[in-house]
Structure 1
């Protein structure tokens, strides 16, 4: 499995959860969505870095 794919998918799910909480708990929703977006970014960086190095599995 490609390194970085799991954090990117997990971050997408967490971001969606944060957006779903937006109406009831706006501060918590912003924190959860930000945490999820950070995972998406870090996973994408891992995917691009390993593609550039030619370490595709």
Structure 2
């Protein structure tokens, strides 16, 4: 499995769940979306960094 794929997928799921709860808990939703997007960015950096390397 490619390095960085798990944080990217997990971050996408967390960001989506945060967006889904934005009407009920807006401040908590903003924090959850931010946390998820941070994982997406860091996972994408790992994916780009290790592009072309095979284990």
Q: Which TM-score band applies after superposition, normalised by the shorter structure?
A: over 0.9
Which contiguous aligned blocks of 4+ residues in structure 1 show a shift greater than 4 angstroms? Answer: none
CA distance in 2: counterparts of 1:29 and 1:50, whole angstroms: 32
Long gaps (5+) in structure 2? none
Q: TM-score, normalising length from structure 2?
A: 0.95
Q: TM-score, normalising length from structure 1?
A: 0.92
Long gaps (5+) in structure 1? none
The count of corresponding residues between Structure 1 and Structure 2 is 55
